[in-house]
Structure formats: structure tokens, C-alpha cells
């Protein structure tokens, strides 16, 4: 038995026959073994460097502990199906499906199961906008009216106010979410009423903007923070204007440019292979099929479908761009651009960690030293969660601690951890699970 076969055997024995763990090193792994791994519910594929036996055992331990965290989460919440993926230093080290993609047909989740990613669409859209910013086609501090003439001027207390692109991207523009100013949340409604469950197809971005363009701002732009998906619809109108092509075309070309082969616009009629069914719970806590909803009115802020594999790839594109040095091959974005995206904007507040805020398309948790010798140091990381009709998600990126030190000069990038989780159940918070899994792998760094 060669060393590669031994490694496969060791880990297959640890996790059971249904979980195939493949470590590709300089030793040859047969095409048959790789093919079988892709058909299984879980796999570990293609690290670029050979790992020591000790390092391999550490990965085995991290995966084992993370599997237990996932199982507890799934059981406690009653999640029908869940898919998780983890990459370390740009290499996918764990992907696995749990439960069912379709309860009625008993189709299991696997690593290729596609689900709505909801608001993780926002950092993806922001990345496309950031590219246009680097190409000097858009100025983040210019008025949205310079790019979208059909969006009306706004007033606060009879004073005309302006809205910048940066304010839209950071949710500080005052544009509403699903509720108009003064409207109260419906009793028993866990999200935002009728708009969240909108069923009609919307064929153009301009028609999407019509849903909210005449509504009052919630506050004077730049003075407060209010999360808004409609704000990202307005950003997609900006992208249309400066890119001179429909947003749907530009974003699909963006998917192709990053080889996100399993990421799509969430079109109901489109055949998307291995697309999950979506679920909710009724007033008695019983699982039911989720309501029908069409997300075409909010492509940019919550209208994409993807897999954990594609989300890991996207996360590593961002991580590489963030960490690149002059000696490296260019990333999709410049390092200074990503640093700007990953810096909290003034007046933004998130509940992901102490002093966490929102940058440009990303939640940002700053690095902080321990206080009073009780709490562990808070490590810098970024991410985004998502909540859609019948689905929930999270994407977390934890750059290696040495990113901004002299230690980074000679290292191969990207360095850090990316975690992606997709769940086919509405109204589920995946953030803590994602961070806890990231912490397990971060112990190995």
C-alpha cells in the first residue's frame, strides 16, 4: 500500500465509509479514487503541499470536532439539510453534506447541492462594483443621481440631501429595507412582510427600483445605519449605467471570470442541477415547504444561488487580493481596495463581535486585545450572513494573523481560513456555527 492509499484508509476509517477524505500530495492518487470522492457526501481535496503525519492528524481532529458541532446544530434547530465547506490557505480541506436536499424524495445533501445564498449576494455584487471603481468608471463618493437619473432627489426635514455610492454600499444611505418608514413589523412575521415573499418576476433593474424609489429615507444619509437590500438594487442600477450593459449580463460574466461555475441568478424557470428544495416551519414548529418567492426584484442584494465550493473559491479570491504583495501575481482586486472594503464605515454597528461594523459589502470584526485577562483576543475577520425564503447561509473569512507583519513577506498566499455554510431552512442564524468551525481550524495555524 502506498502512502496516499494509507492516508485515504486512515481517514475513511475515522469518519466511516460514507465520508471520503482525500489528501492529494506529490504521491499519485488514482482517477478512480478522485472520482469516488466527488460522488460522496464529503471530501477533502487537493492541498498544494505535502502535509506531515502530525499535520494530517490535526486536520482529522478539526474535522471530527467540526462534524460534531454541525450535527448538534442540525439536531437542535431541526434543519432538513446543510452543506459546509472549509478551506485553509487556499486549499479546500473539508466539504460535506448533512441531511436532505429534498425531504419528499429523500435526496441527500452533497457537496454539489446548490441553495439560495441570500445576502451573501451583497459582497459578490460589491466586488464587481469595486472592480469598476478600480477602473475609474465609478466614484464611491459621487452622488447616486450622477449614475441613476431616474432615482428621484430626496429631502429630510424639507432639506434636499444627497446619497453617495459609498453610503449605499455600507447601508448608511437611509434607503429602507422591506418596510417603509413608519410601518411596523407584522405580528408573527419573522422577516419583513409581503415584499420578502414577493412572487412576481421583475424583468429590469429600473422596475425593481420603482418598488422603493418614491419612499421616504429613514434618516439623513451618513448619519446612521439601517441594513437594506433595496440599497443594493440601487447599486446594481449604478453598475448597469457605468458598465453599459444589463446588470444580469455583467454579474454572470463576473461569475465566469472567477470560474464560479455553480453560481447563478435565482431564476425559478431555470434548470439548476442539484438545486435544493426550501423549507420553513409552521406555527406548530413543523417543517413545511417554503412559500413561493421570486428574487428577481433584488438580484444584487439577495438573488443568487451557489454551492459551498464556489463560495470558498470566492472567499479565497478576496483573501488573495487582500494579502497580495508587489511580488505576487495580481489578484482580482488590488490589496488597498479590499482593505477599504474591509474597514468599518463610521456609524455602522453589527453584532458579530466587539466593535464590529459594516464596511463595503462586508461585516467587519476588528482585532482586539483581551480585556482583564479573561477573554481571548478577538481576531480580525470578515463575513456575511444570508436569510432568504427557505434558506440561510454564512460566509466567513479569517485572514492569518501574520498578514500585516514582516512574516508575510516570504509566504505563499492566500493564508487564512474560509468557511461557507448553506442551510435549506428559513430564519436560521449560521454565524456562530461558522465562526466556531473556523476557530477549530484556526488552532492549526
Going residue by residue through the chain, which has 445 residues, state the pLDDT in tens, using 9 for 90 and above.
443 333 333 333 333 333 333 333 323 223 333 233 333 444 443 444 456 778 888 999 999 999 999 999 999 999 999 999 999 999 999 999 999 999 999 999 999 999 999 999 999 999 999 999 999 999 999 999 999 999 999 999 999 999 999 999 999 999 999 988 888 765 444 455 689 999 999 999 999 999 999 999 999 999 999 999 999 999 999 999 999 999 999 999 999 999 999 999 999 999 999 999 999 999 999 999 999 999 999 999 999 999 999 999 999 999 999 999 988 999 999 999 999 999 999 999 999 988 899 999 999 999 987 656 666 789 999 999 999 999 999 999 999 987 765 555 557 999 999 999 999 999 999 999 999 999 999 998 8
What's residue 218's pLDDT? 97
What's residue 38's pLDDT? 34
Rounded to 5°, angle at Cα 425 from 396 and 382? 10
Burial of 152 (0-12, 13-18, 19+ CB in 10 A): exposed
Burial of 48 (0-12, 13-18, 19+ CB in 10 A): exposed
Set 37, 119, 208, 306: catalytic member: 119
What's residue 407's pLDDT? 56
What's residue 319's pLDDT? 98
Instruction: State yes or no: is 42 an active-site residue.
Output: no
Judge whether 315 and 418 are in contact, CB under 8 Å: yes
What's residue 217's pLDDT? 98
Burial of 192 (0-12, 13-18, 19+ CB in 10 A): middle
Using alpha carbons, select from 292, 289, 263, 264 the residue that is nearest to residue 278.
289
Report all structural domains of the chain as residue ranges with CATH numbers, in order of start: 70-181+196-443 (3.40.710.10)
Distance CA 180, CA 218 (A): 8
What's residue 193's pLDDT? 67
Distance CA 445, CA 222 (A): 39
256 Cβ contact partners less than 8 Å away, ≥ 6 residues apart: none
What's residue 290's pLDDT? 98
Distance CA 33, CA 108 (A): 21
Number of C-beta neighbours around residue 304 at 10 A? 27
What's residue 100's pLDDT? 99
Amino acid at each position: 500500500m502506498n502512502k496516499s492509499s494509507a492516508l485515504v484508509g486512515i481517514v475513511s476509517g475515522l469518519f466511516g465509509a460514507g465520508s471520503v477524505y482525500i489528501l492529494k500530495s506529490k504521491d499519485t492518487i488514482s482517477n478512480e479514487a478522485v472520482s469516488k470522492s466527488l460522488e460522496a457526501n464529503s471530501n477533502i481535496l487537493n492541498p498544494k503541499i505535502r502535509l506531515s503525519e502530525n499535520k494530517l492528524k490535526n486536520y482529522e481532529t478539526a474535522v471530527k470536532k467540526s462534524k460534531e458541532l454541525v450535527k448538534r446544530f442540525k439536531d437542535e434547530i431541526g434543519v432538513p439539510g446543510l452543506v459546509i465547506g472549509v478551506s485553509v490557505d487556499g486549499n479546500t480541506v473539508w466539504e460535506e453534506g448533512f441531511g436532505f436536499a429534498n425531504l419528499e424524495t429523500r435526496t441527500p445533501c452533497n457537496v454539489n447541492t446548490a441553495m439560495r445564498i441570500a445576502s451573501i449576494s451583497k459582497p459578490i455584487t460589491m466586488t464587481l462594483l469595486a472592480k469598476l471603481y478600480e477602473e475609474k468608471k465609478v466614484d464611491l463618493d459621487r452622488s447616486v443621481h450622477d449614475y441613476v437619473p431616474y432615482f428621484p432627489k430626496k429631502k429630510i426635514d424639507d432639506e434636499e440631501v444627497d446619497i453617495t455610492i459609498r453610503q449605499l454600499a455600507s447601508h448608511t444611505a437611509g434607503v429602507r429595507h422591506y418596510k417603509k418608514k413608519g410601518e411596523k413589523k407584522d405580528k408573527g412575521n419573522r422577516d419583513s412582510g409581503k415584499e420578502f415573499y414577493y412572487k412576481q418576476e421583475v424583468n429590469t433593474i429600473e422596475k425593481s427600483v420603482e418598488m422603493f424609489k418614491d419612499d421616504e429615507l429613514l434618516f439623513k444619509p451618513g448619519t446612521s445605519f439601517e441594513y437594506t437590500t433595496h440599497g443594493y438594487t440601487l447599486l446594481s442600477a449604478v453598475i448597469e449605467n457605468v458598465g453599459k450593459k444589463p446588470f444580469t449580463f455583467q454579474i454572470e460574466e463576473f461569475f465566469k471570470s472567477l470560474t464560479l461555475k455553480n453560481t447563478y441568478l435565482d431564476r425559478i424557470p431555470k434548470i439548476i442541477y442539484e438545486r435544493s428544495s426550501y423549507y420553513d416551519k409552521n406555527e406548530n414548529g413543523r417543517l413545511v415547504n417554503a412559500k413561493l418567492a421570486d428574487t428577481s426584484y433584488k438580484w444584487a442584494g439577495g438573488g443568487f444561488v451557489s454551492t459551498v465550493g464556489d463560495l470558498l473559491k470566492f472567499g479565497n479570491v478576496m483573501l488573495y487580493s487582500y494579502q497580495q504583495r508587489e511580488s505576487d501575481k495580481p489578484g482580482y482586486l488590488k490589496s488597498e481596495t479590499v482593505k477599504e472594503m474591509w474597514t468599518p464605515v463610521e456609524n455602522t454597528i453589527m453584532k458579530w463581535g466587539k466593535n464590529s461594523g459594516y464596511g463595503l459589502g462586508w461585516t467587519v470584526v476588528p482585532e482586539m486585545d483581551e480585556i482583564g485577562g479573561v477573554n481571548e483576543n478577538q481576531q480580525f475577520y470578515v463575513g456575511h450572513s444570508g436569510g432568504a425564503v427557505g434558506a440561510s447561509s454564512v460566509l466567513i473569512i479569517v485572514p492569518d494573523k501574520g498578514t500585516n507583519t514582516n512574516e508575510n513577506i516570504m509566504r505563499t498566499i492566500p493564508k487564512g481560513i474560509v468557511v461557507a455554510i448553506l442551510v435549506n431552512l428559513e430564519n436560521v442564524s449560521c454565524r456562530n456555527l461558522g465562526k466556531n468551525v473556523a476557530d477549530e481550524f484556526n488552532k492549526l495555524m
